[in-house]
Structure 1
Amino acid sequence: MTDRIDPKRQFRATRRTFLKQAATAAALMAAARELLPYGAYAAPAVPEVTGAKLGFIALTDSAPLIIAKEKGLYEKYGVPDVEVLKQASWGATRDNMALGGENGGIDGGHILRPKVHLYSSGAVMQNKQKLPMYTLVNLNEDCQAISVAQEYADTNVQLDAGALKEAFAKKKASGKAATVAVTFPGGTHDLWMRYWLAAGGIDPNADVEVIVVPPPQMVANMKVGNMDAFCVGEPWNEQLVHQKIGFTAATTGELWFRHPEKVLGMRASFVDANPKATLAIMMAVMEAQQWCDKMENKHEMAEIVGKRQWYNVPVADIIGRIKGDINYGNGRTAAGTNLLMKFWGEKGETSYPWKSLDSWFVAENIRWGKFPGTTDIKAMVDATNRSDLWLEAAKGLGLADMPSGDSRGVETFFDGKTFDPANPSAYLDSLAIKAMV
């Protein structure tokens, strides 16, 4: 005898199944929107390798690499074995990049934007050996600072470095040069410090001594009197203020608003051999940038990156400036400013590696003698900047409204100087203080 199926029971079961499946699908869609509010991503083809070794320095702008690790984004995009490895200094980063991941070094990571050109040209490499590199993602804008020792508090120095000119000259006349610290020769902090001093009439090559100190060692060195001023990223300027060792004269966003800072840079050999894995790494980092940019995530971000294995820094030293709350020291504060660290922007324009911005860094390094005056700026930038890969990764993330072109246009600095990427020579000619001949 054949069992008879009750049509009503079958309908109820079918309806329950349908509703359950619909609820599951809705939950998945909601989760996808929460993870990636800018659109659904199209997973890249299977990566050639499942990981890479990425270096970072304990600076807040390395957060996207760390968040991508902590939030499982490398795994999401098919590269679960990505390692995010702390580097002792920018010099150590350079040496490990030269070794490469296969030889105990690193394949890429969080680096100062000009380092891509400094490495690729061999300018800062051992025996001038060229190390081809690519700029893949701009990690952040703004939120570095120039800080000054507490003994100069009575100068009230801020954006105008000229307030220090007499004090520095007096120190030099006494037989001991004023010392300013930066993080790497030709790097962003070196260029911010030199620009600020020169705009105030202080020649960084003649009037002060420029030294190199790793970012995590800045505060300790100022505490024992090894420098009169320094330029570094956060959280070290904020920590200096909290310890009442010095004060912030100016943030770098005040020198050049929405300036680029660090990048995800990788060895060209790794990218060329592993294009799918590279795109997967980029997508993970770019999604992390979107997460980091949300104000509601700032406190969690500070808690994560402040952990011992990452920065080993209290949340209080991180949280203020990433939200735009600036405690300059000496009673000067500003809340809710637009000087907070920016990771993504409205449509990824912060993350996009504009070639025009690379042109300024090359021009500034020509200004200070790191590159010869005959350097072909456009050729150097075109050989290293992979904005094409950024666009490909962005499409994979489901982004439709993206930055376009290679130029962000004419840039304006706090002292009124302008940089037209179509005419770098005019910019260099306009500068009164420079090392180039």
Structure 2
Amino acid sequence: MSNSSRRRFLLNAGTTALGAVLLKGCLGNPPEPGGGNTTAEQAAPVELSPEMVPETTQVKLGYIPIAEATPLIIAQEKGFFAKYGMTGVEVSKQANWASARDNLVIGAQGGGIDGGQWQMPMPHLITEGIITNGNKLPMYVLAQLNTQGNGIAIAAAHAGKGLHLDITNAADYIKGFPSSAGRKFKAAYTFPNANQDFWIRYWFAAGGVDPDQDIDLLAVPSAETVQGMRNGTMDAFSTGDPWPYRIIAEDIGHMAALTAQIWRFHPEEYLAMRADWVDQNPKATKALLKGIMEAQKWSDDPNNRAELVSIVAGRNYFNIPAEILTPPFSGIYRMGDGQPEINDFKMGPLFWKDDIGSVSYPYKSHDLWFLVESLRWGFHKDSIKDLDQVKQIIDKVNREDLWKEAATEAGFTSDIPQSTSRGVETFFDGKTFDPENPEAYLNSLAIKRI
């Protein structure tokens, strides 16, 4: 959406000042000059041995202004990149996921980016040329940036209809929309065949609603989705922090579920880079990883969350009032529609460790789940055909070896997982995903395309 279009939208929508500020931050306006945080105390540089000196100090990382971008921003502002010799990192706000993808194809030398924050499995799809018009651009997944921080929002018109975590009893209400409302129940996410699409699909299907047949499910920009929830043309939204705050605060709707409820400590968004950049700069890659690891550890300290919020809320980053970010970064969520408030630090975004294992480590078992879900829903069926191919793609894209090397060099050896699999994963509806037997998971699902 252009700046002129955005202004027209705000005028037409009649949003509050709070909504306008939120909208500007979440849609990814260009940074304003002098808007960076200059008061954050910088980490002291470490003395680098010759074998650890980066091949280059320059890299351009793209991000979307949502909670998942936090480690990139903190690593920059707290000096963790510079600590390991990466003094020329540029953290670049992207307008949306499609723009980030296109800028990656261009590359930093052409005015784009070298890598950055990604929904999964975008790096795998870009590697295979599936979402780049057949242009195969190899990528490497290097680290997970966070867990949690997302949810399913429901428009206010559906209050009292039982659209909460378990929608089994509301399935007939949703599926009956064509006869009662003259149209299908309409739901949205921000980019197709990736995280937010998967979360809302899983939630619908677990309640007996087929997301491909019983409803209209489509990719819609966040601002248009929220306006649709206001005016009655959009019913549900798969969204990330800080949007849930606005939806509740402005009585746009309620939160049916947090993804932390759907799948506790689930994989969320990742650091991934162009493979050619990593291959040319392996030491710089590990220096980036060390800076992000330091940022993740720092960010998970509750004592640092107030400073974290003040940094990411700045006008060069999210550009929204700090009070909007404070509740989710504290694990506090007003759910609305008569549901109890959630007040649990570990239900909000986490960045380094959780109660199961590492957050930062890129488990191959998590890559597997995302691509198995792609098979489940028939995504890219002409390009991704079976589990053998899925595993080959993962082995090509996932560079857990570089994560381990970076963690070892940084002295984080006690935090290195012993396995590339986190083991059996359990979802809110009782379904389990065993990475050793993904066929059993697929067979257990009642609603699927495969």
TM-score range, shorter chain: 0.7 to 0.9
Q: Does 1:410 align with 2:428?
A: no
2:123 to 103, 116, 123: 116
Q: Is the 8 A contact 1:42 1:398 kept in 2?
A: no
Q: Is the 8 A contact 2:148 2:266 kept in 1?
A: yes
Partner SS state of residue 341, structure 2: strand
Task: Give 1:165 shift.
Answer: 2.3
Alignment-derived partner of residue 341 in structure 1: 349
Alignment-derived partner of residue 413 in structure 2: 400
Partner Cα separation in structure 2 for residue 342 and residue 215 of structure 1: 23
Partner Cα separation in structure 2 for residue 276 and residue 213 of structure 1: 39
Partner SS state of residue 204, structure 2: helix
Matches within 5 A, 1:96-245: 96-126=103-133, 128-173=134-179, 174-215=181-222, 218-245=225-252
Q: For 1:236-275, what per-residue CA distance to the aligned partner results, in whole angstroms no more than 9, with x for missing partners?
A: 1122111110110100011111101000011111111111
Amino acid at match of 2:264: F
Partner Cα separation in structure 1 for residue 67 and residue 152 of structure 2: 16
Q: Does 1:370 align with 2:379?
A: yes
Counterparts in 2 of 1:427 and 1:178: CA distance versus 1, 3 Å: same
1:425 to 439, 442, 446: 439
Q: Is the 8 A contact 2:156 2:229 kept in 1?
A: no
Partner SS state of residue 395, structure 1: helix
Partner Cα separation in structure 2 for residue 136 and residue 289 of structure 1: 14
Partner Cα separation in structure 2 for residue 107 and residue 195 of structure 1: 32
Counterparts in 2 of 1:279 and 1:215: CA distance versus 1, 3 Å: farther
Amino acid at match of 2:330: K
Partner Cα separation in structure 1 for residue 155 and residue 224 of structure 2: 15
Q: For 1:358-389, what per-residue CA distance to the aligned partner results, in whole angstroms no more than 9, with x for missing partners?
A: 11001001111124342522211111111100
Partner Cα separation in structure 1 for residue 319 and residue 176 of structure 2: 38
Partner Cα separation in structure 1 for residue 210 and residue 64 of structure 2: 29
Q: Is the 8 A contact 1:144 1:252 kept in 2?
A: yes
Partner Cα separation in structure 2 for residue 218 and residue 276 of structure 1: 42
For these two proteins, the number of residue pairs brought into alignment is: 399
Partner SS state of residue 167, structure 1: helix
Amino acid at match of 2:152: I
Amino acid at match of 1:399: F
Q: Is the 8 A contact 2:346 2:354 kept in 1?
A: no
Partner Cα separation in structure 2 for residue 195 and residue 282 of structure 1: 31
Identify unmatched segments of 5+ residues in structure 1.
1-33
Q: For 1:76-132, what per-residue CA distance to the aligned partner results, in whole angstroms no more than 9, with x for missing partners?
A: 211111111111111111111111111111110011121111211222222x22221
2:291 to 278, 284, 288: 284
Task: Give 1:168 shift.
Answer: 2.5
Alignment-derived partner of residue 388 in structure 1: 401
Q: For 1:304-344, what per-residue CA distance to the aligned partner results, in whole angstroms no more than 9, with x for missing partners?
A: 11112211122222111222112112453122253121100
2:318 to 294, 311, 322: 311
Partner SS state of residue 88, structure 2: coil
Q: For 1:285-319, what per-residue CA distance to the aligned partner results, in whole angstroms no more than 9, with x for missing partners?
A: 11101111110111111111111221112222211
Q: Is the 8 A contact 1:177 1:209 kept in 2?
A: yes
Partner Cα separation in structure 2 for residue 45 and residue 73 of structure 1: 15
Task: Give 1:189 shift.
Answer: 0.6
TM-score, normalization: structure 2?
0.84
Amino acid at match of 1:370: F
> Which stretch of structure 1 is more off in the superposition, 47-56 or 321-330?
321-330
Partner Cα separation in structure 2 for residue 306 and residue 129 of structure 1: 36
> Which stretch of structure 1 is more off in the superposition, 106-115 or 211-220?
211-220
Counterparts in 2 of 1:104 and 1:216: CA distance versus 1, 3 Å: farther
> Which stretch of structure 1 is more off in the superposition, 304-313 or 145-154?
304-313
Partner Cα separation in structure 1 for residue 139 and residue 158 of structure 2: 41
Alignment-derived partner of residue 277 in structure 2: 270
Q: Is the 8 A contact 2:193 2:374 kept in 1?
A: yes
TM-score, normalization: structure 1?
0.87
Partner SS state of residue 360, structure 1: helix
Alignment-derived partner of residue 358 in structure 1: 367
Partner Cα separation in structure 2 for residue 239 and residue 302 of structure 1: 16
Counterparts in 2 of 1:217 and 1:308: CA distance versus 1, 3 Å: farther
> Looking at CA atoms only, which structure, 1 or 2, has the larger radius of gyration?
1
Identify unmatched segments of 5+ residues in structure 2.
1-41
Counterparts in 2 of 1:225 and 1:107: CA distance versus 1, 3 Å: farther
Q: Is the 8 A contact 1:42 1:397 kept in 2?
A: no
Amino acid at match of 1:406: T
Q: Is the 8 A contact 1:42 1:396 kept in 2?
A: no
Q: Is the 8 A contact 2:157 2:232 kept in 1?
A: no
Counterparts in 2 of 1:435 and 1:234: CA distance versus 1, 3 Å: same
Between the aligned residues of both structures, percent identity stands at 43
Q: Is the 8 A contact 1:41 1:397 kept in 2?
A: no
Task: Give 1:35 shift.
Answer: 5.7
Alignment-derived partner of residue 7 in structure 1: none
Matches within 5 A, 1:288-307: 288-307=295-314
